[in-house]
Every structure is written in C-alpha cells, then in structure tokens.
Structure 1
C-alpha cells in the first residue's frame, strides 16, 4: 500500500502558495494546527482545511503584498464574489486597505456594520467609505501589531533581556501596554507601544518573574518535594487553603510547611 502523502513545512508552504516563514509564524500563533504526522508533517486531510484560510492567515502574519497580488486582475481590483456586495477581503481590496485594517476598523467602529446579510457591505456603503480611507489608515497605522509571543520576542531583541509571554501580559495588566486590537480574543500590541516601554521597567518585570520561578514549584514538583502522590498534595493543599499563584505555581516555602499545617489541622479536628 502506498504511503499517504504528507507535507513538511516547506512543502506545505509551496502547496498553499505562501512562504515557509508564514507557515512557521502561523503555527506559532495557532492559525495552523500542529503537525499530525509524526509531529513533523501535516497530513493531506489536515492540509486541505487550509487553502480557504490563506488570506486570513497572511493578514495576521504580515504579508503586506498578498492582498495586492491576489486583488490584481484586469481591472486591478478583485470583483465582489456575490453580486455587488463586498466581504471583508473584497472590501480591503476595493479600498486598497490590508485585510487586518478592515478587521481593526470594524472593532473600533471606523466602519459601519455590514448591511448585506450582516456579513457584507453594499456598493453604496463602500462608495461612501472611499473618502475616509486616509483617515482609517492614519488611525490604524501600517502594522497590525504583535501578539504576546511575538511581542516578547520583539522586546527581548530590543532590551537583550529574557522576555517571555508572561512578562508582556504582566506589563499589559499593570497598564503599561494597551492593546491596539485583538485576534480571536487575544490582544495585539503596537510596535510603537512596545518600543516606548522603559527598559528598566521591562527589566523589573522580567526579574520579578524569574525570582518567582526560583522560589516556586509546580504541583508535580511540590508533590515530589514532599514525597507525596499528586493526589495527596492536591487534596492537602486545597484542605489547607494553599492556592497556586502566578503561572499556576506554588510558593516553595508554603509547600514545605504544608505537612505540618495539615498535621496540626488534623489534630485540631481530632
């Protein structure tokens, strides 16, 4: 029996008409499922779910030329798929915007709601938007922003610190970073806001996380530290009000004191 066809990253990229870097970034952001053949390749069945999502994927991973290449034709613009109404991709091409700019403009109320089936914009509405394109571009900028993983990499490159995703989340939680938009519920941060962060502030957040990692343990590590089973630790921790802290980790000192607290609690109820 012939071996079923499967795609490595380069083969998948060529098959989808994109570049390997797009595949890598899309996989990191969860836009492409993990390989399902030996953890290294994608099966044909899984790969066939992706061609219809190429535009969505590239709108996020930053291919600025894709919309122009796909929209180019005899008239230089992609024609609407159905009648004289425009979906998000067609609207982006018609107004010479990037696909992410259309989505971001919707989120910020810079575009009216779709007036055709709740999904598309009529020709009348689109024609009325043409004079606002410059305003939309100025408001949104020319970069979609970075998710927390890529934002951490960006900060690490700028500060030469070991910045991780959790540090970006902490900076946002403290109000030092404000999302410029979101993708599938996840915040996106502008390059300007990331580059505007004070290096000492970033260093303090990184240092705080690293110190917490040093003095904390996972539930599995806590059970091993005490010589207990995972179940015994979880029951004893809950019974004594020992809850995990940041990153789902437990304070090592509190874990070490858990046996005595549990014993005293048992004696007090006896």
Structure 2
C-alpha cells in the first residue's frame, strides 16, 4: 500500500511539473511572438508600423515600439502641408517676393496720392486767385464805366463787345440802358440811388400811378442799386416788385 501511494505521489509531481513546463513554454512562445511583432513594427516591415502609428501613437508603452521616422513624419505632415523642406523654403521666398511687390506698389500709390494732393492744393490757389481777379476786373470795369469820373458811355460800347462775354453782356446791357436815359432822369436816378433802399422804395411805392417814370428811373441806375431798391419794395409789396421787374427786362 505504501508503495502504491508513493507511485501516485510521483505521478502527481510529474504531472504538475509537466503542466508548469507547458505553461512556461507557452509564455515564452507568446513573448517571442510579441517580440517578433514589435521588431516588425519598429523596423516598419511592409509599412506595418506606418499603418498602425496613427492609432497607437498616443498610447503609452506601445508608442515606444512605433517607428521613429514614421512618427515624426506624421506629426510634421499634420503641422506643415509641404512634401519637403525645399518646398517650404520655396514657398517662403515666393511670399517674400509678393510682400515686396505689395510694399513697392503701396509706396507708389502713396507718392501718387501726395502728388495729387499737391496738385489739388495748387489748383485751389489758382482758383481762388482767378475768382479774386474776376471780381477785381468786374469792379474795375464798373468804376471805369459808371464811376463819377467815367467818360461818355458811347465810347465804351464797342469795347464791351470785345471783352469777356459774360461780363461784357452784363455791362453792355447796363450801358445801353443808361445811355438811353436823358440827363434829367440820370440826375434823379443818381439821387434815389444814394438814398437808403427802404426810403427810395417807399417813394416808388407811392408812384404806382406813374410806372413809366419809375421804370425809367430804375433803368438809369446801376444794377446793384436797382436790385436793392426792388428788394426793399418786394418786402412791402411783392406783386408790385414783380411787375416792375417784368417791365424793366427788355
């Protein structure tokens, strides 16, 4: 009995030892396969490592066996849309050329704007001088023709036809009207012209029954004096002022 018991114990020990050996062998085989797979991934055999890099690149431990070049390439591809460093440098140079062209064009536009502004300022001065000249010219013409020391209007009528059309037309019409006035009307018209416009207007309003006299007196005045008196009349009797204006116009 004791012998049989010893035999059973030996068999149990052998079974346990065989089971342990099998387990160890299995683990070793698994480790070997894991090592082989890790080597294949690391060496990127068949681009296997490249394919799984996007999946496991952020997984701790596992990302250590990923191909280094592939990992760097993936990160670079995400950050820079260039196939090579040369392409990136070429693109940078192209941008520098474009920037230089834009700066050059901006400089030209700025200089052009400055030149245009200078020209505008110059023309404004010329325009102001021209306006002042025309004003003085008209004032001088009026003084020469209608001033106290002016000579006979007839001597200037031909001259008016040769000067500036606008000024000539205005002065010529006034000269013709005043030339047609007799001496009596001229003296009386000058007297009314020297009065205050309101005072002269009040007198003419009272002369509504003598329109011919009022019209002749107004025609013998300077246009500026006539306008002031008619303006004063319009403030009191606009209809009468309008009637006088129509009768004065040739």
> Shorter-normalised TM-score: what interval?
under 0.3
TM-score normalised by length of structure 1: 0.21
Which is helix-richer, 1 or 2?
2
Max Rg structure: 2
Which is strand-richer, 1 or 2?
1
